[in-house]
Structure 1
Amino acid sequence: MSSAFEKWRQRLSDMTGLGGDQTKLHCQGCEQWKSHLLQYSPSVLFLMKHLKLSGCAVPPENIICAPCDPSAAAASSTPRSGGFSPTSGAILLCAGSFFSRSHMEQTLTHELVHLYDHCLFKVDWGNLRHHACSEIRANSLSGDCKWTREVRRGVVRFSKQHQECVRRRAVLSVTSNAACPNKEAAERAVNEVWDSCFADTRPFDEIY
């Protein structure tokens, strides 16, 4: 196990112990839902299987439940529910940020798509086109852009709803990339790779 992963896990472990009883309850609930998804979620099991077949098996301990930085969430227009660390290969699930187990399932699936892309396609996360492609795929394949999720966000569309959601969320994510100078650059990156990346559903046969 890499030293980078150990350092990242230790930092998250330290954070987990600082939030009092409420934080511990959130982390316990997160772990319970995570355990269920790793046993029963079709999308999670499918991605875990294909990651293993590709030589990138994901041990359960590499999927970490921990509190996320509330100041970062407050500064974002899209509250954070998870993340993927290219350096360590670990996935973070933000304990206390999920309104349902289905929400966690979509988040974990999203981050596993990033991990799949990182493993198979050697993504350069500082390259905006690379980042945009993985965000398009992760948002499209994870269930993040289901109509019910969009309604919960207060976004109601009846024409090309899925595509518009994927595009919007991909632009938001790329805009947050440290290498991205502004939203316009993020939009250009998403537009440049849109056709090929939206059509690429690997390892799924179709959009989940």
Structure 2
Amino acid sequence: MSTTSGATGSQPSATGDANIFNKWSRKFSAVTGIGITEEERLRELEIHQNSVCNRWKKELMNYSPAVVFMLKRLEQAGCPVAPKHLSCQPCSYNRSGGFVPSAGIIILCQGRFWSKTHMEHTIVHELVHMYDQCIFKVDWNNLRHHACSEIRANSLSGDCRWTRELRRGFFSFTKQHQTCVRRRAVLSVAANPACPDIETAEKAVNEVWDSCFADTRPFDEVY
């Protein structure tokens, strides 16, 4: 009896094999479009991207030193962040994530991350915004407030590492980090509905630059 049971246990499961094949087949169809309509392909692709996004999110919230550090600091500040506060969603092509202050959530743009490291930087960036909201009660309609948080988020998150800038097509040997932080902060402030033009965004960033770029809280230094 035990010998038979052992032999049976060592055999591959037909159900398991079928599930693996079906999963692979759906992923293949979603990527290639073979055997399904365009609507079905887009739906399967969305399901796959959501699954990857949530898996990476879970891993980063548990194991990324920078993400775990930010989560602990937010909890200590009285603003704990749970997995439900990081929502994987479809987004437009020109963004990877965003913080929604009114809802207290971070949107992660599924399918817009070329690596888990890219998602890590995005999560830390948005957690810095969450931290600023929690500690400093940011008025996001105040362009100076917004500019300060963007300077800090871009500087502290890893968004402006040399390798990230090289991928974007920007290359510099001198003050690369500062140049990147300033450029990205200006673009973010310019996208604020309260900002009338790029010149106003540049002015807001310039006015708070020195104090906000030097402020690395809750990190001891630039991550």
Give me the TM-score of the superposition, normalised by structure 2: 0.81
Match of 1:60 among 83, 102, 120: 83
Structure 1, unpaired ranges of 5+: 1-17, 74-78
Answering whether residue 70 of structure 2 is matched by residue 47 of structure 1, we say yes
Q: How does 1:1-208 map to 2 (within 5 A)?
A: 19-68=42-91, 70=92, 73=93, 79-208=94-223
DSSP-derived class of the 2:154 partner: helix
1:4 maps to none
Distance in 2, matches of 1:98 and 1:136, equals: 22
Question: Which letter does structure 1 place at the counterpart of 2:55?
Answer: Q
Q: Deviation of residue 94 (structure 1)?
A: 0.2
Q: Percent identity?
A: 63
Q: Deviation of residue 171 (structure 1)?
A: 0.1
Give me the TM-score of the superposition, normalised by structure 1: 0.87
Distance in 1, matches of 2:89 and 2:42, equals: 10
Distance in 1, matches of 2:74 and 2:42, equals: 33
CA displacement, residues 161-187 of structure 1 (integer Å, 9 cap, x when unaligned): 000000000000000000000000000
Structure 2, unpaired ranges of 5+: 1-40
Query: How many residues end up aligned between the 2 structures?
Result: 183
CA displacement, residues 19-44 of structure 1 (integer Å, 9 cap, x when unaligned): 50001100000001001101110110
- Root mean square deviation, CA, Å: 1.0
4+ residue runs over 4 A deviation: none
Q: Deviation of residue 59 (structure 1)?
A: 1.1
Bigger Rg, structure 1 or 2? 2
Distance in 1, matches of 2:82 and 2:54, equals: 14
